[in-house]
Amino acid sequence: ERANSNRILHRMYDDESLTIKQMIERRIEEIPEKERPKIIEKGQNQTVIAVELVLSTSPEFFDDHPENFEKWVDLNVQHIKEKYKDNLLDIVLHLDEKTPHFHINVMPLEHIERNRRRTKKQIANNESAGTYSIYNFNAKKLFSVNELRKNQTEFAKVVEPLGIERGIKHSKAKHTTIKEYHTKIKNFLFNNTSKVNKKIEFKLEKPLTQKTLLSNNYERANVYYNRVHKQLKKFTSDVREYITCIEYALNDSRQKTALLSNTIDKLNKICDNDHELLSTRFSEMKQELDSLRQIEAKLDYQEKGNIELAKIIAVERSERVELEKELYRYQKPSKAAERAL
């Protein structure tokens, strides 16, 4: 329903009817025939002719800095065009989901020089065979794990002026699906609801004293330090747990708010659509009613005409019968004439 809000920010060719594959085929046709790359279409070593990249930023950025949205778009588009140049197929900005993001299609095409094979004569004379240039698809090289890490660093530097930071390098965090994440939040909140409302405070205890006959002796400094240090570690752990609870509760609240907002939007759309549908149907029914009234008036007029016509036909029949009787009387011979015959 929101697909119309997406923006096409770049295409290799202006013809929007061309698919990604057709653009690639057209690009290859522009390369001199001797330099065209080989494409393997079947088997395990199929050639990767395009790579799709998805580029986004944490949702909080768009919520907290809506004024920087267009700057974010412009900086990224400029960097993408400079980085991929003639290999860039298209850039599409998706605004049909909650978090804006780019879909970028790139040809993993490189222009390389290769050494020619030397002939026996060249080898004997220690001569060079020369080189030749060729285009080659090489997704493994251009989009390897190390290259993707470099990409993350490069793209982060581009938007650094907007206050966006790069993700943690070499993070061992594993991908969690949205469903798994929300399940984890619900389970955590169910088991730690009391901790969210818990009041956390830290009181620095005084050193313990030991009464003697002559004076009060305080506990030794190292003993006091160790005791307070343990209490502080426990307090720090409680604070971290408390922060986690608050974050999870906040995320759960955001999820519920988003779900409620989506439900409201859907209901509003349904109501608007139903109102429009009912309005259209009412107009159609009104037209049908007017047509029926016209037909009814015509039928009524025709029925009256049929009644009058029936009366006229009845009178004509009656007159005709009388005329036939009169005619019969005149044509019938008298009794005298019958006897004479």
Within a domain: 147: yes
Q: 200 phi and psi, to 5 degrees?
A: -110, 125
- Determine the pLDDT at residue 335: 56
By residue range, what is the domain housing residue 94? 3-170
CATH number at residue 50: 3.30.930.30
- Determine the pLDDT at residue 296: 81
- Determine the pLDDT at residue 11: 93
Q: What is the pLDDT of residues 170-215, one digit of tens each?
A: 777 777 777 787 777 777 766 666 655 566 666 777 777 766 655 6
Confidence (pTM) = 0.52
Q: What's the gap between Cα 232 and its chain centre?
A: 48
Within a domain: 115: yes
d(CA 216, CA 212): 6
d(CA 132, CA 24): 23
Q: What is the CA radius of gyration of the chain?
A: 46
Within a domain: 88: yes
Within a domain: 289: no
**Residue ranges in the chain whose pLDDT is less than 70:** 189-202, 210-217, 252, 272-275, 332-341
- Determine the pLDDT at residue 8: 92
- Determine the pLDDT at residue 212: 62
Within a domain: 313: no
The DSSP result for 240-258, as a single string, is: HHHHHHHHHHHHHHHHHHH
Q: 63 phi and psi, to 5 degrees?
A: -75, -40
Within a domain: 279: no
Within a domain: 62: yes
Q: What is the pLDDT of residues 8-30, one digit of tens each?
A: 999 999 888 899 999 999 999 99
User: How many domains are there within the chain?
Assistant: 1
Within a domain: 122: yes
